[in-house]
Amino acid sequence: MGCVIWNWLRGWPGGAVWLSFGTRPDVHGKAFAAHAHWLLGHQDEALAACREAITLARAIDHPYSQALAFAYACITHQMRRDLPELRNAVDELRGLCDRYGFAYYREWALILDGWSREGASGADLVRRGIGDLKSEGAFARMPYWLSLLADLSARDSQPDAARAALDAALAAGRAHHDVWWLPEVMRMRAAYDEQQSAVARLLSAAQMASEHGSVALLRRCERDLGTRNVRLPASGVPTTA
C-alpha cells in the first residue's frame, strides 16, 4: 500500500500542490515509501527513498516538509538498526522542531532519541514522548512507539515493564486498527511466553506478516521460530488451528 500511495503522490506537479496538513506530496510520498520498502524487504530502496525525501525537502526550503522528511528518516534508520544515522536524523529533527515550534514530530524525536540511548534516561525520554502524543490525541503508530519502550525495558532487565508495554501495544493496535507493526509486537511478546504459547504467538505473528506482505517482519518471526526448532512451511505462510 505504501508504494502505491508513493507512486500516486509523485505524479503530482512538484511545486503546485500541497497536502492539507502542510507538506509537499512528493516529499511526503517518498518519506512514506521508505517504510513500505523496508517492510517489503527492499533495504536499498528504503534508504534511497529516505534520502530522496530529505534532499527534496531541503531543495524547496520548506521547514515543515524538512521536519517530516527527517521524522520518517528516524523511523527508517531505527528499523534498519543504524544508530549513527538515527542519531544524525534525530539531531536534525530536534533542531527544526525547536526552531519552528513544531509539536508532533518533536515527540518522534524524543522517542527515537530515547531508544538510541542506554539506561533510564532513554526510557524517560520515550515515556515523555509517548505521553505527549497521547495528550495530543495522536495515536497513530502507538504500537510501534510502545514496542520501542518495551525494547528499552528489556535491555534494562525489566521484563515485567517490557511485557506490560507490549500488551498495551497490542491493545492500542487493535483499538485503533493500527496493525502494520503488530507482527513485530507479537514476536517480541512471545519472548515472555512459555514454549508452546510462544510458538503459537510466533506463528500468528508470521501469519499476519505474510498477509501484510511484510517480508522484513516475517523474516524476524522465522528467525525466532528457528531458535525454537520450528520451521515455517516452504510457502512461508504458517497454518494455525
Question: Residue 159: its pLDDT value, please?
Answer: 97
Cell of 170: 497490542
- State the helix-helix crossing angle for 195-212 and 182-190, rounded to 10 degrees: 170
- Per-residue model confidence (pLDDT) at position 235: 62
Report how far residue 35's alpha carbon sits from residue 39's, in angstroms, rounded to the nearest whole number: 6
In 136-194, which ranges are continuous DSSP H helix?
A: 142-155, 159-175, 182-190
Contacts of 18 (CB under 8 A, 6+ apart): 24, 25
Q: In one letter, which amino acid is 71?
A: A
- Dump pLDDT digits (tens) for 155-178: 999 999 999 999 999 999 999 999
In angstroms, rounded to a whole number, what is the distance separating the alpha carbons of residues 53 and 33? Answer: 9
Instruction: State residue 20's pLDDT score.
Output: 41
Q: Are the beta carbons of 166 and 188 closer than 8 angstroms?
A: yes
Cα separation, 72 vs 68, whole angstroms: 6
Tell me how far apart the alpha carbons of residues 89 and 54 are, in angstroms, rounded to a whole number.
10
pLDDT value, residue 233: 78
Q: How far apart are CA 241 and CA 194, in angstroms?
A: 18
pLDDT tens column, 64-93: 999 999 999 999 999 999 999 999 999 999
- In this prediction, residue 238 carries a pLDDT of 61
Per-state percent for the chain, helix, strand, coil, to nearest 5: 70, 0, 30
- pLDDT < 70 stretches in the chain: 1-22, 234-241
DSSP secondary structure code for residue 101 in this structure: T
Q: 145 CB contacts (<8 Å, ≥6 apart)? A: 111, 126, 129, 130, 133
Query: In the Cβ-directed half-sphere of 114, how many Cα atoms lie within 13 Å?
Result: 27
* Distance (Å, whole) CA 204 – CA 201: 5
Q: Which residue has the cell 508532533?
A: 104
